[in-house]
Structure 1
Amino acid sequence: MLRSALRLHRAIATPLASSFRPAARLHTVPPLPYTVEAGVSPLLSPTALKVIYADHLAGLVDRVNELIAGTQYEDKAFYEVLMDSARSLNELQLFNNASQAWNNDFFLRSLSSTPGKMSDALAKRIADCFGSVEVFRREFTTNALGLFGSGWTWLVEDRDGRLVLLNTYNAGSPHHRRRMQRHDETATNSDLVSQAQNPYSGVSRYSAPAKQMANNSYTPILCISMWEHAYLTDYGVTREGRQKYVETFFKTVDWSVVEGRVFRAGGF
């Protein structure tokens, strides 16, 4: 079951799973479908995009190359480096850099200044799981704004085909249950009910169940970076700035890309 799930994750992965191939034992950052000089209007200015892509993402890939040199990982595809290091208790530094690079690429590849609109089929798929597209956007925003510190808010598909929300901290990945880096792992059911009623908790009734984490990995569909470097340049550090960042994110989501991920995960 796990083996087939990993094949599925690789099949729907972004170019970090396919374009990051060893070339002279080095991984390179794949090009974006838009230019850094243009930014992603209205979400990311060229300056902000340079920080995320040309500085941060490139630095992460360089660090991965340093860490795998002369090791069992140096001839592996990038996604294999991510997953193999996730399984190892001794490769936290390698996992953090590989996962953070994959997450950033996945986030940036979801965006467009001229995004495709949400299809009726995708809207129905989301409504079936959240009640409506409006509820999904509201709950996704609540999760993102409730994430205290650096991390990611995800729309993911579980193994039963349900779309749910997931917050991971730092370089946490939905791909592997051991490396999700969730802050709710030890929460009781009573804690989660209480948190779901708090609009600033980052938890809702649509969140992936923490108690099932030991048996779950998830297929990523969409994510937003809630790392400070992603929003600081254009939106500042206030809660109001972060909220504007998340609201503007939805104006640049390329729903045709998202739909392809759901479809290939078996969602329709």
Structure 2
Amino acid sequence: MENNHKNNRRDFIKTTGKAGIAASLAFTVLPSIITKAAKNNYFDFAAGTPFQQQPLPYQYTALEPVIDAMTMEIHYSKHAAAYAKNLADACTAEKVDTSATKLEDVLMNISKYTPKMRNNGGGHYNHELFWQSMAAPNSTGLQGKLKDSIEKSFNSIEAFKTQFTEAGKTRFGSGWAWLVLTNDKKLVIGSTPNQDNPLMDISDLKGFPVLGLDVWEHAYYLKYQNRRPDYINAWWNVVNWDFVSKRFEAAI
């Protein structure tokens, strides 16, 4: 059994190493939300999410034992790096001027672009948010306006976590679970397939992504294998509530 596990692990690492590989009416207020958020510098980005991959804000070991260093390294340097590279290729092919266009604007009009732009633009944006949304265990807990709003929207913090966890557990195949601020300033929970996100005009779940959780197998398989619920339950210990709260406050 142990040898089989080691073989599976080696096969997974080998595979992942090779795998480095017009807004609708409902979106009318999203650009202003994004602009306000950018001005508050919560990303340390001056004007929305850059098209290029940014440095990881911590060491690969920083989220242990929740997320092991090998998973972090493969996830960041192979999977996420591939999304950034392929996004650059798509922008060149589709003549997107990245010096004059925000990635968020591309995503909000993603139906006008190719599947390559959709998959890699979404993958890049989602991961850039994901890295910032985590920090070493025992960081600042949920508090302030976000805490109050979550309690108002979901009755309690525990109820919120239960509903969010369920969204991640039940997302069929690969995708993301989200806490979203809608255009009418309500908090809702949902999920999207693959690398889609709530900014996209083709998404059933629409709004401003406040918090996102990657539930693709490459995010957890080395440590948790097929136990996605265990991964999600552990992940709550590394959520960077300080960052998420600032992001929420900037958006409202």
Residue 72 of structure 1: how far off its partner (Å): 2.1
What residue identity is the alignment partner of 1:243? P
Matched, 1:8 2:33: yes
Q: TM-score, normalised by structure 2?
A: 0.79
**Count of residues paired in the alignment:** 221
Map 1:159-178 to 2 at 5 A. 159-178=183-202
Matched, 1:116 2:102: no
The unaligned stretches of length 5 or more in structure 2 are 1-24
Residues 107 and 121 in structure 2, CA contact (< 8 A), matched pair in contact too: no
Secondary structure of 1:155's counterpart equals strand
* Percent identical residues: 24
Map 1:1-268 to 2 at 5 A. 2-12=27-37, 14=43, 18=47, 21=50, 27-36=51-60, 38-69=61-92, 71-76=94-99, 77=101, 79=103, 82-83=106-107, 86-88=110-112, 90-114=113-137, 115-178=139-202, 180=203, 217-237=206-226, 241-266=227-252
Residue 7 of structure 1: how far off its partner (Å): 3.0
Residue 9 of structure 1: how far off its partner (Å): 2.5
Secondary structure of 1:224's counterpart equals strand
Q: Is the alpha carbon distance of 1:242 and 1:75 closer, same or farther for their aligned partners in structure 2, counting shifts above 3 Å?
A: closer
Residues 145 and 243 in structure 1, CA contact (< 8 A), matched pair in contact too: yes
Q: TM-score, normalised by structure 1?
A: 0.75
Q: Deviations over 1:31-51 (max 9, x none)?
A: 122022x24123211100012
Residues 108 and 200 in structure 2, CA contact (< 8 A), matched pair in contact too: no
Alpha-carbon distance in structure 2 between the residues aligned to 1:34 and 1:5: 30
Which residue in 2 is equivalent to 1:187?
Answer: none
Residue 3 of structure 1: how far off its partner (Å): 4.7
- Over the residues paired in the alignment, what is the CA RMSD in angstroms? 2.3
Q: Is the alpha carbon distance of 1:39 and 1:19 closer, same or farther for their aligned partners in structure 2, counting shifts above 3 Å?
A: farther
Alpha-carbon distance in structure 2 between the residues aligned to 1:164 and 1:261: 16
Residues 10 and 79 in structure 1, CA contact (< 8 A), matched pair in contact too: no
Residue 73 of structure 1: how far off its partner (Å): 0.7
Q: Deviations over 1:148-202 (max 9, x none)?
A: 1000000001111111101100011100231x2x5xxxxxxxxxxxxxxxxxxxx
Alpha-carbon distance in structure 2 between the residues aligned to 1:98 and 1:74: 14
Alpha-carbon distance in structure 2 between the residues aligned to 1:257 and 1:63: 28
Residues 150 and 160 in structure 2, CA contact (< 8 A), matched pair in contact too: yes
Alpha-carbon distance in structure 1 between the residues aligned to 2:58 and 2:71: 14
Q: Deviations over 1:97-149 (max 9, x none)?
A: 01111111111210001422111543221110000001001111111111110
Q: Deviations over 1:86-105 (max 9, x none)?
A: 140x4221121011111111
The unaligned stretches of length 5 or more in structure 1 are 22-26, 183-212
Residues 82 and 99 in structure 1, CA contact (< 8 A), matched pair in contact too: no
Alpha-carbon distance in structure 2 between the residues aligned to 1:262 and 1:19: 15
